[in-house]
Amino acid sequence: MNRQAQIAHHNSGLDVITMLTNLNLKPSTESIIIYLSAVLFSVIGTLLIPGKWVPGAPLKDNSRVYYKTNGLLVVLVGSLIYGALCYTNFQFAGQAIYTLICNSFGELLTVSLVFSILLTTLLYLRGLFIIPEKERNFLYPKWNIPMNFWCGVELNPHFFGFEIKEFSYRPAFLMMSVLNLSYAFEQYRLYGALSTNLVTFQAISFFYTIDAFVFEYGLIYMFDIIEENFGFMLVFGDYLWMPFVFTLQNLYLVNDFNVNHTQTFVNIAIFIVGYIIFRGANNQKFVYRQDPKQVWLGLIEPKTLETARDRKLLISGFWGVARKINYLGDILIAIAQSLPCLQCGYLLPWLYPIYLTALLFHRAMRDNERCKEKYGKFWDEYCKKVKWVMIPGVY
C-alpha cells in the first residue's frame, strides 16, 4: 500500500464537498474520550496549576470579573504530556495515539459540534432558570429563543469558581497543539522526516499559541470577553472553530514535501510584520489603559483626543496610523498560517484568513457606527486625525 494512503483522504483533493463526504464524521468511543480528555485536563489544570488572579475591564455597573491567568502553564503542561505520549509511541485502540487522532479528524469534529451544542444548552438553561435576574443579559426579547441561544443569556458565566468564557481559550489552544503534534509525529512516522512547509506552519501556530497566553491579560480586554454574551456563537468558536479550522492546514501538509525557499522566507516575513502590528498595537493600548501617562516602550508619548464623555481616544503610535490597525496584524498572521499550503492548490486551507478578513472588516464597520453614535462630532474629528480604518493608504 502507498504510504500516503495510510492517512485517509489527506492531500487528495480536499475541497469542501470532498471533505464533508469522505471524512468519517460518525464519532467513535475513542474520539469522544480524546476530545473530553483535552477539556477535562484544561479544567483540572486551571484549578490546580498556580496562577495570578487579575481583574478584568470594568463592566457597565463598574464591577470587575477576576481571572486566573495560568493559561500558559495549562496549555504547555498538557502539550508536553501529550508530546511525551507521542514520543513513546503510546498505543490507544491498537495504534499509535497520534495516528489515531490523524485518522479521527472528522470524528473529533463531530464530537466538538455535539459538545458545543450541549454546553450552549446548559448555559442557556442556566441563564433562564438558575442565575439571579440581575445577572441575565438578554440581547433579544426573552421569547426569541434562537437568537438568545446563538448570542447567549449571560455575560460572564462562572463554573468551578472561574469564568468559563475566558477559560474556553485553553481547551481550544490545547486541542490545536494536540492536532499539530499528531500530524508532525505522523509525518515523521511515514517519511522519517518533517517537511519545510509543515514545520513553518506549526512553528507559527505554536508561537501564536504561546504568545496568546504570555499576554493572557490581553485576552481579558478583548471585545468578545468584555461585550459578548457566552452563547453558541462563542462556544462554537472556542470548542470547534479554533481547534479544527486553525489546524486544517495539517491535512494538506502531512504528505507535502514541496520546497520553495522564497515562499518560506516571504511566509515568515509576513508573520513577523503581522505579529509586530498585532502585538504592538494591543500592548500599546493595554499599557495606556493601565497608566494613561506612561510612555510606551519609553518611545511613544500617549497623545489623545478629548471627548465629551470623559473618555479619551488614543491617536499616537500604532493608533495614530489606523483606527483598527490591530485587525491588519491579525489578518497578516492568519495569511501566514495558510501560506505554507500555497502549492496545494485548494481553497479550504485558506478558510481561516478568508473568514477572519470578512469578520474583521464587518466588525470595523459596526464599531465605526457604534462609536459615531457614542461620540458624535468628536468621532468625526477623530476620523480626520486618524484617516485610515485598517490598512494605511488603502482603507
Low-confidence ranges of the chain (pLDDT < 50): 1-14
Per DSSP, what are the bridge partners of residue 313?
305
**pLDDT of res. 272:** 96
CA 233 from centroid of its chain's CA atoms: 13
**pLDDT of res. 228:** 87
Give the C-alpha separation, 319 to 324, whole Å: 8
Predicted confidence (pLDDT) per residue in 60-105, tens digit: 777 888 999 999 999 999 999 999 999 999 999 999 999 999 989 9
2: exposed, middle or buried (Cβ count in 10 Å: 0-12, 13-18, 19+): exposed
Q: Pull the grid cell for residue 279.
A: 502585538
Question: What phi-psi label fits residue 94: left (phi over 0), alpha (psi between -120 and 50 degrees) or beta?
Answer: left
**pLDDT of res. 17:** 54
Give the C-alpha separation, 275 to 135, whole Å: 37
Q: Pull the grid cell for residue 231.
A: 452563547
**pLDDT of res. 259:** 86
**pLDDT of res. 197:** 94
pTM of the model: 0.89
Predicted confidence (pLDDT) per residue in 134-166, tens digit: 788 888 888 899 999 999 999 889 887 888 999
**pLDDT of res. 9:** 41
Q: Pull the grid cell for residue 248.
A: 486544517
**pLDDT of res. 81:** 97
**pLDDT of res. 111:** 96
Give the C-alpha separation, 156 to 242, whole Å: 20
**pLDDT of res. 325:** 94
293: exposed, middle or buried (Cβ count in 10 Å: 0-12, 13-18, 19+): exposed
Secondary structure of the chain in HEC code, one letter for each residue? CCHHHHCCCCCCCCCHHHHHHHCCCCCCHHHHHHHHHHHHHHHHHHHHCCCEEEECCCCCCCCCCEEEECHHHHHHHHHHHHHHHHHCCCEECCEEHHHHHHCCHHHHHHHHHHHHHHHHHHHHHHHHHCCCHHHECCCCCCCCHHHHHHHCCECCCEECCEEHHHHCHHHHHHHHHHHHHHHHHHHHHHHCCCCHHHHHHHHHHHHHHHHHHHCHHHHHCCHHHHHCCCCHHHHHHHHHHHHHHCCCHHHHHCCCCCCCHHHHHHHHHHHHHHHHHHHHHHHHHHHHHHCCCCCECCCECCCEEECCCCCEEECCHHHHCECCHHHHHHHHHHHHHHHHHHHHCCCHHHHHHHHHHHHHHHHHHHHHHHHHHHHCHHHHHHHHHCCECCCCCCC
**pLDDT of res. 82:** 97
**pLDDT of res. 332:** 97
Helix axes 351-375, 325-338, angle to 10 degrees: 170
List own/partner pairs for 377-380 with CB under 8 A and 24 or more apart.
Answer: 378/305, 378/306, 378/307, 378/308, 378/313
